[in-house]
């Protein structure tokens, strides 16, 4: 079937994004990539904090802003003012989704809480992302990604057992995960609205997606009292399943998730006898001798360059992969073939490579139309075209600091 580039899955959906920094913005960005019209609401003259986070470009906006707020329309509005709240309510009446990530109670203080907005628009879907969610004894605590990694249980597992916990890859993982679940919740709520005609509220604590992805850690603790500890690059329940050094000073990841795959690795190492039941052919024996098994594999990998190891493992159907730095990702043929890095042209920064869309749809694949917009770039389009305000109205509102 041919791709219908004109049709997008969400091209009839209008979203108000009043969130800041990353979790909420990432939620609405994913929806914008597949056709939703997103009105990104920012404070007049100040803008979203994400504009000033990370590497700042020559035009004053950051690379995270340009990349993660793609496809959005920027309008300025101070919802803290009576006039700003009034205009927001007019926008809500015309919207399908409202995304926010303030501390609980903030919007209620401005007269824009869920109870108010659902009366204005019963079909509205509201995504609320906060540090600990809208309920519970911690609901009023501020939260950021680093705190969510810690509270959600991931930081405790990151690092080596004899050293302090480390940042698990990135402090922003919870923000991206919460944004992902926010987008999923929006799609589920849209499907439910299709049947019921009613919107609903989606409530996500920043730590909750982290806790959700920790495989068997919760049932294992309840079932047998196991408190999993840091294991460095190792993996609970399976071995060898770790990172190993190469002769040319690089690293390779090898994953033997069962006895059959380990037998292939033993053949690749030229020692098929290691896969015999009396040796390390059973997971129980490998778990028993975990340190010896990992050391033995590491000694083998250290005798070969990374490219050679990848060839040997591939020939023997042993799951393996290079541990890449970002410069190697840019050079990799698989990334190039899949178009994982999208090169965008922008008058402000020239060519800017950014991560491409996920997921990949065969018929309505989505697109990136533009990078993060200029502050207030779409004020006229939204306030005049959608709400019917005049030029005089806009001049007055700007003078009063409302827009």
Catalytic residues: 175
319: left (phi over 0), alpha (psi -120 to 50) or beta: beta
Strand bridging mode 72-76 / 97-100: unpaired
Torsion angles phi and psi, residue 97, rounded to 5: -135, 145
Contact 175, 206 (CB under 8 A): yes
The label of the residue with tokens 């907005």 reads: 117
Residue linked to tokens 């929006």: 186
For residue 372, give Cα distances in angstroms to 25, 74, 88, 190, 338.
11, 8, 22, 26, 24
Tokens 């207030």 — which residue? 376
Q: Which two tokens stand for residue 265?
A: 């690795």
Nearest Cα to Cα of residue 91 among 347, 393, 379, 377: 379
Backbone angles phi and psi of 235, in degrees to 5:
-130, 135
Phi then psi for residue 192, to 5 deg, are: -65, -40
Taking a C-beta distance cutoff of 8 angstroms, is the pair 253, 301 a contact? no
Q: Give the closest residue to 48 by CA, choosing from 31, 32, 28.
A: 28
Among the listed residues 55, 384, 386, the one whose alpha carbon sits nearest the alpha carbon of residue 398: 384
């Amino acid at each position: 079937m041919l791709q219908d580039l004109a049709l997008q899955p969400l091209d009839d959906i209008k979203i108000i994004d009043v969130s800041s920094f990353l979790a909420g913005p990432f939620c609405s960005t994913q929806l914008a990539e597949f056709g939703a019209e997103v009105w990104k609401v920012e404070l007049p003259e100040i803008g979203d904090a994400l504009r000033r986070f990370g590497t700042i470009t020559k035009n004053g906006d950051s690379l995270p802003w340009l990349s993660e707020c793609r496809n959005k329309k920027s309008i300025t509005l101070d919802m803290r003012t009576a006039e700003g709240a009034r205009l927001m309510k007019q926008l809500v009446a015309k919207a399908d989704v409202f995304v926010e990530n303030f501390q609980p109670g903030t919007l209620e203080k401005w007269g824009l809480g869920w109870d108010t907005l659902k009366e204005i628009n019963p079909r509205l879907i509201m995504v609320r992302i906060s540090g600990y969610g809208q309920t519970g004894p911690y609901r009023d605590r501020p939260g950021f990604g680093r705190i969510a990694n810690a509270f959600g249980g991931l930081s405790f597992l990151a690092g080596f057992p004899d050293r302090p916990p480390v940042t698990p890859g990135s402090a922003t993982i919870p923000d991206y995960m919460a944004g992902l679940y926010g987008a999923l919740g929006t799609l589920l709520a849209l499907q439910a609205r299709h049947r019921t005609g009613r919107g609903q509220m989606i409530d996500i604590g920043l730590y909750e997606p982290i806790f959700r992805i920790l495989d068997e850690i919760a049932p294992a603790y309840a079932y047998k009292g196991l408190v999993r500890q840091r294991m460095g690059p190792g993996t609970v329940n399976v071995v060898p399943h770790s990172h190993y050094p190469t002769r040319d000073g690089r690293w390779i990841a090898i994953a033997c998730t069962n006895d059959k795959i380990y037998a292939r690795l033993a053949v690749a190492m030229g020692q098929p006898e290691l896969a015999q039941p009396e040796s390390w052919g059973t997971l129980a024996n490998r778990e028993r001798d975990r340190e010896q098994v990992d050391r033995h594999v590491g000694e083998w990998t250290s005798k070969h360059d990374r490219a050679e190891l990848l060839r040997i493992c591939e020939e023997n159907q042993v799951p393996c992969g290079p541990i890449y730095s970002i410069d190697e990702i840019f050079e990799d043929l698989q990334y190039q073939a899949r178009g994982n890095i999208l090169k965008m042209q922008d008058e402000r920064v020239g060519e800017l490579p950014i991560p491409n869309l996920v997921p990949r749809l065969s018929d309505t694949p989505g697109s990136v139309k533009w990078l993060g917009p200029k502050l207030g770039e779409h004020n006229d389009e939204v306030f005049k075209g959608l709400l019917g305000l005049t030029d005089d109205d806009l001049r007055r509102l700007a003078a009063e600091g409302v827009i």
